[in-house]
């Protein structure tokens, strides 16, 4: 969807930015890893297919995606944005007649960044964004039965198990968003800042005189 095409969300350790064509090569590299394919139940794609996927995530009204950037690294304009990428997070509206029900997906793709609280922070940020900007009232996650870390993380957010598929070897967890949860999410995320992505990119580059006119925009 296009709602977040110029949105930068600033957390404590990360920035969430819209998934652009510039991010695709690094994303494609990640998804060549058989470990990540297994953990995220993804099929390998060619680079061209990955560009098509990026366009579909941008244009389809039922999908919203952000790339997760290392905030500290991004603050140094000598690093290309691709070098600051650590993962992604998605919301997918799964009920054609009810846009308040969403599947949530998260990936901290860089192994060195796992286990440092980023997964929790990003999930929290995306839940806040989904509830306040997209009107989500129910989240669902599908997780491989072997993926104990992810199951533990979502249970910490009070997701509860609704079904197990022996065929797909995955568990489905859900979380309904009531007023109390909404208030709690907002309170815990009081540090969350929303800024204009393109302006933030420009000021980052003008700090060192880098030319961003060649930066591809979708
Ligand atoms: C699952 C994933 C998003 C978690 O993110 P993360 O940044 O590694 O996790 P965090 O450091 O934020 O920790 C979140 C919770 O996960 C659990 N966890 C994290 N590392 C763990 C480990 N090594 N062993 C067991 N549980 C662990 C804990 O419950 C932790 O909460 P706590 O710190 O309060 O105890 C991340 O590991 C990842 O993307 N892995 C690869 C792709 C994937 O599995 N995606 C999910 C598909 S459904």
As a whole number of Å, the end-to-end CA separation of the chain is 12
Nearest CA to ligand 1 atom 7: 119
Give the pLDDT score at 204.
86
143 lies in which domain range? 7-206
Give 66's strand partners. Answer: 18, 89
Atom of ligand 1 nearest to the CA of 116: 11
In a domain, 105, yes or no: yes
Token representation of residue 5:
């095409």
In order along the chain (218 residues), what is the average pLDDT of each group of 10 residues? 96 97 98 95 96 96 97 93 97 96 98 98 96 96 97 97 96 96 86 93 76 43
Q: pTM of the entire structure?
A: 0.94
Total domains present in the chain: 1
**Burial class, 104, CB count within 10 angstroms (exposed 0-12 / middle 13-18 / buried 19+):** buried
In a domain, 214, yes or no: no
CATH of the domain at 31: 3.40.630.30
In a domain, 217, yes or no: no
Beta strands in 84-165 (DSSP E): 85-95, 98-108, 138-144, 160-165
Atom of ligand 1 nearest to the CA of 123: 3
In a domain, 216, yes or no: no
Mutate to test the pocket of ligand 1, among 89, 115, 124, 127 (most ligand atoms within 8 A of CB): 115
């Amino acid at each position: 969807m296009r709602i977040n095409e110029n949105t930068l969300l600033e957390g404590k350790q990360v920035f969430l930015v819209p998934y652009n064509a510039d991010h695709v090569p690094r994303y494609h590299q990640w998804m060549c890893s058989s470990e990540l394919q297994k953990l995220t139940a993804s099929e390998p794609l060619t680079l061209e297919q990955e560009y098509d996927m990026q366009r579909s995530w941008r244009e389809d009204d039922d999908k919203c995606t952000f790339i997760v950037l290392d905030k500290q690294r991004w603050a140094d304009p000598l690093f290309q944005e691709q070098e600051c990428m650590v993962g992604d997070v998605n919301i997918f509206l799964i009920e054609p007649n009810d846009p308040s029900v969403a599947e949530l997906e998260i990936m901290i793709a860089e192994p060195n960044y796992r286990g440092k609280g980023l997964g929790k922070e990003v999930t929290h940020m995306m839940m806040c964004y989904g509830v306040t900007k997209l009107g989500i009232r129910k989240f669902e996650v599908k997780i491989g039965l072997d993926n104990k870390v992810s199951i533990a993380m979502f249970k910490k957010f009070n997701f509860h198990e609704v079904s197990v598929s022996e065929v797909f070897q995955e568990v489905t967890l859900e979380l309904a968003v009531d007023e109390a949860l909404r208030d709690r999410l907002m309170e815990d995320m009081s540090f969350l800042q929303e800024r204009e992505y393109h302006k933030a990119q420009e000021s980052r580059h003008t700090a060192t005189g880098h030319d961003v006119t060649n930066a591809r925009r979708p």
